[in-house]
Structure 1
Amino acid sequence: MDAVGRAGSAGASVAGTPQGRITRGTTGVNRLRRVDRWIAAHAAARVPGCLVVDLGYGASATTSLELHERLSRANPAVEVLGLEIDPARVALATAQLAEARLAGPTRYGRAIASDARVSFALGGFEVPAPRRPQVIRAMNVLRQYDEHEVAGHWATMLGRLGPGGLLVEGTSNEVGRVCSWVALDAEGPRSLTIALKVDELGSDAMEAPSVVRERLPKALIHRNVPGERIHELLAELDRAWAIEAPLADFGAVQRWVATAGRMRAAGWPVTGGPARWRLGELTVAWSAVAPAPSPAG
């Protein structure tokens, strides 16, 4: 959606026009399951009755309905607001929500209780909402923007968060098996998470963990070149995965857990532990992958 600072208070953009550009809108059932699972475990999403914004949900209500379902398991009073800058998408998602409430499971996603706190509205990076959200999820949105635009859009969204709030911004492939995201708070970017369907690693579609290079967040995707930290991380991750090949007989998950442990032992600031690693995740502190400063002049 633009350096990390404070934006205005609640409400829409100055001219009343949503900030941003219309995305392709591609979405699908379960595409964002990995990031949803990670958000659901975060303290920001467990604040009773918190507001969570699904920014740029795309051409259907699917991802917003799924987000609500996953978060409500631990936080029954959670509220999800889907925002799009295309009025036609807002109208369609609202109609799909009504259908999901009445008819149970539909092709748009899962059934939803009649009193579930889900809604859709027109909005972009300015995040117009009735109150400050605790979480903003902006997946597959900044991919179409230029790298120099990222920091400003981060700042705008961060300026809308409530105290202790969380911004999650990243990219996934179309079926959700390869994805990555940056987690940000009021101080800026805090971590990068890579999440893979690890039992497909080694296949033609996912030859090695570095397959995520094609789905890195916009702030990093063009930095996967020699001399940059993200390039070093992915190269080291591939090496660690290869070294742990003997564990393949015990399953891909065991091999991934060992790979994550090896990365931590090598000095990478890997957070979490086996419980998260078994889900195919690897989270590192942002300082380990932050882009190198541009040369002066």
Structure 2
Amino acid sequence: MSTQRPVGAITRGTTNPNRLRRCDRWLAGPQAWRLRRSPEPPVVVDLGYGASPITAVELYDRLSAVRTDLDVVGVEIDPARVDAGKPLEHEHLSFRLGGFEVPLGGRDATVVRAFNVLRQYDEDQVTSAWGRLQDRLAPDGLLVDGTCDEVGRLATWVALDRAGPLSLTLSMRLAALDDPATVAERLPKALIHRNVPGEPVHAYLQALSRAWARSSPHASYGARQRFLATAGALREAGWPLEDGPSRWRLGEITVAWSAVAPQSSPGAAT
């Protein structure tokens, strides 16, 4: 057994059932090919799952529908939180002590989901944390660095493979949504301080807000139709969206990272 000290800091631990359902739905949908392609039983990591192990349990329940032999590993830096998960362990679900080093006993991760983890770190710590986690990925592996509100109605995440960032996804509960740009308060740490004039992510959110306003005539047919029109307008305007109507109907929209990446990397001089 390794005596290496876990890398990272203890998070606040706030969690709720169903809080990460939007990201799980995306992993089981557009990203399911990563699980299916894995030549070995895939390992999916719930990093920093918090005071309750429920998100790891839900992650297994949702992704095992894609690949029945996958293993979900909840990794926490707080020993008490690991102990809380132990009674729920079974053949394909386990909990262990660790941090950004992601201890998997020599295995590589097909997915590392780190939600509401890097939010508490400084922006200049993001790149090094990403690098540590990317080093733990399998060849087709994916790192998801995300943030959401307390009940999971607003969520955003950056997806990265071993080479670097791929995309930014915004996912919102459309009912009673006033302006999709309100999701800005839940941007991942790499972007939240970049939502200022002159930065690409600010331009993207402003374009999203304008398109939503211009699509108001569709509101009489429901928020879903309005959001479909909004996303379609963004695509027509040249934003490199990576998904389509089947995802937009869910209040989800994914754009290429190249369109929203900071003018300089996190931590670099601006």
TM-score w.r.t. length of structure 1? 0.85
CA distance in 2, matches of 1:148, 1:260: 32
Please tell me whether residue 119 in structure 1 is matched to residue 94 in structure 2: yes
* In structure 2, distance between residues paired with 1:272 and 1:296: 33
Show the counterpart of 2:53. 61
Task: Give structure 2 stretches of 5+ with no counterpart.
Answer: none
What is the correspondence of 1:1-297 to structure 2 with a 5 Å cutoff?
A: 16-41=4-29, 42=31, 43-47=33-37, 49-95=41-87, 97=88, 116-130=91-105, 131-202=107-178, 208-293=179-264
For 1:137, what is the secondary structure of its paired residue? strand
Deviation of residue 200 (structure 1)? Answer: 2.2
Residues 47 and 75 in structure 1, CA contact (< 8 A), matched pair in contact too: no
Distance in 2, Cα, partners of 1:139 & 1:293: 23
| Alpha carbons 1:169, 1:181 under 8 Å: kept | yes
Q: TM-score, normalised by structure 2?
A: 0.94
| Alpha-carbon distance between aligned partners in 2 of 1:158 and 1:296, rounded to the nearest angstrom | 24
Distance 2:201 2:113 in 1: 22
- 8 Å contact from structure 1 (residues 247, 255) kept in 2: yes
Q: % of aligned pairs identical?
A: 56
RMSD: 1.6
Q: Give the AA of the match of 1:154.
A: W
Which residue type is aligned with residue 52 of structure 2?
A: S
Cα distance between partner residues in 2 of 1:147 and 1:270:
26
SS state of the match for residue 137, structure 2? Answer: coil
CA deviations over 1:149-204 (Å, ceiling 9, x no partner): 000000000001111110000100000000100000011001000000011202xx
SS at match of 1:181: strand
Equivalent residues of 1:256, 1:277 under 8 A apart: yes
Does the 8 Å CA contact 1:39/1:45 hold for their aligned counterparts? no
- Report how many residues are paired: 263
1:165 alignment partner, SS class: strand
